[in-house]
Structure 1
Amino acid sequence: MRSMCVVALAHRAHPDWPLILVGNRDEFHARPAAPLHIWDGDSGIVAGRDLQAGGTWLGVHRPSGRTVVVTNVRGAMPDPAKESRGALVYDLLRGEGRFAAPDAQDLPRFNAFNLFAVDAGAARLLTNRPVPLIMPLEPGVHALANEPVDTPCPRAERLRRALEMAGAAGTDPEKLLDTLMAEDDPGLFLRGDIYGTRASTLVLVSADGAVRMIERRYEAGGRPAGATALEFHTG
């Protein structure tokens, strides 16, 4: 499963929203995916779904408010024998399963990835490039893309600054979705006919556990293909 290509996280950095997560998922347009929805069964997950591998790239666990997003890492050849990154996201969201509480020695079992995980007000970065690492994140605005975490990434830095400025100016966070597809910043939004941005997603979590998730979807050439907005409370 490929994954979201650029994402920014505001962790305990906004007066109204202790968690803001915003990013673009880039993928082959032919790869099937289900829109943002509440998953069937008792998983408690609210997310889009990759219908080829069965996992997800970004989601919220409705009972607990756990929030997880993953990106792949550019230049690393995928190994089909490795564990699914989508399974890692799934277990982290539920807080159950083999990978619900991974340590650094577990991370090489997956193809190259970067990941943000937020749980009970604490945020972590997990990555296995350039080396396996699990690192707590201080309150602030952080960003990831498809680069190893020790490599500067202009796309990630532009989105990080946009989220930081939105918080400082008191701007409606939903306007960040427009930033993600800005015509004057082609590095954030890919308009390819075969491979490109498939979805822009915004997650807002308030101090009292109110959650708002918005997903805008796109088809080949960056043409709009629908949107979903969900609201719920954790717990």
Structure 2
Amino acid sequence: MCVVALAHRVHPDWPLILIGNRDEFHARAAAPLHPWDDGSGIVAGRDLQAGGTWLGVHAPSGRAVVVTNVRGAMPDPAKESRGALVTDMLRGDGRFADPAATDLDGFNAFNLLAVDGERVRLLTNRPLPQIATLGAGVHALANEPVDTPCPRAERLRAALAAVVEARADPEGLLDTLTATSDPALFLRGDVYGTRASTLVVAAADGTAKMIERRYEKGGRPIGTTALEFRIDA
């Protein structure tokens, strides 16, 4: 399970705020948040099993993409990697750089938010493949189909909306992501649980910051990475 929220063009200081928890098996190897050294311009953590990412920013353009899986759908190893979809959309290059709705059934069940300048898109293949354009506002996703209410997503959406309304510093949302009371945002499992909490903020002048807090089994903190960079677009 994962939960993410996005505030787009509603905070006076930070037109982009993206916050979320990545929940995954602890045995699945991942590299911490870093600028990738492959010339792609991507700043993200990296799944070392499939080679993609779950949340990242393309520093040259400011594109940001985040994906969640969808509860209850059995994964099919023959299908394309959801992390590869995120990576291609971040780069703006590759087979899945600009997917059509007809492409989406080629992936295991997912929800995805993609920010590209003024445009925000929601992509999902549950309950049906669709691509929708979202307006300025506060949006949230978790592991439910997009037509199903999700208390976790609503809890995080409300927390982000409160930060926007108060014109507050969004870094406090990283503490919000450790909430374990029902509906829990943070999972403390020894086999499966919250592996990383990530915050992305970008200002109108191109200043951007990403912070990733990482956790091992039992929810124990194992490190934090904070990066600042400029968006060239």
Interval of TM-score (by shorter of Structure 1 and Structure 2): over 0.9
Aligned equivalent of 2:94: 97
The answer for unaligned runs of 5 or more in structure 1 is none
Match 1:161 to one of 143, 153, 158: 158
Aligned equivalent of 1:189: 186
Q: Give the CA deviation at 1:41.
A: 1.8
Q: Give the CA deviation at 1:209.
A: 1.4
Q: Specify the code of the residue in structure 1 equivalent to 2:15.
A: P
Aligned equivalent of 1:35: 32
Q: Give the CA deviation at 1:182.
A: 2.4
Aligned equivalent of 1:172: 169
Q: Specify the code of the residue in structure 2 equivalent to 1:205.
A: A
Q: Give the CA deviation at 1:185.
A: 4.9
Q: Specify the code of the residue in structure 1 equivalent to 2:5.
A: A
- Cα distance in 1 for residues equivalent to 2:8 and 2:89: 18
Check 1:69–1:138 CA distance in 2 against 1; reply closer, same or farther (3 A cut). same
- Cα distance in 1 for residues equivalent to 2:202 and 2:182: 27
Q: Does 1:205 align with 2:211?
A: no
- Per-residue Cα deviation, 1:179-235 (whole angstroms, up to 9, x for no partner): 000244561000011110000000001111111000000011111000000000011
- Cα distance in 2 for residues equivalent to 1:42 and 1:131: 35
Q: Is the 8 A contact 2:180 2:187 kept in 1?
A: no
- Cα distance in 2 for residues equivalent to 1:33 and 1:44: 19
Match 1:117 to one of 96, 107, 114: 114
- Cα distance in 2 for residues equivalent to 1:232 and 1:92: 20
Moved over 6 A (4+): none
Root mean square deviation of aligned Cα: 1.0
Q: Give the CA deviation at 1:172.
A: 1.1
Q: Specify the code of the residue in structure 2 equivalent to 1:219.
A: E
Give the paired residue count.
232
Q: Specify the code of the residue in structure 1 equivalent to 2:30.
A: A
* Identical counterparts, % of pairs: 77
Q: Give the CA deviation at 1:121.
A: 2.0
Q: Does 1:223 align with 2:213?
A: no
- Cα distance in 2 for residues equivalent to 1:21 and 1:120: 14
Match 1:79 to one of 76, 80, 85: 76
Q: Give the CA deviation at 1:56.
A: 0.3
> TM-score normalized by structure 2?
0.98
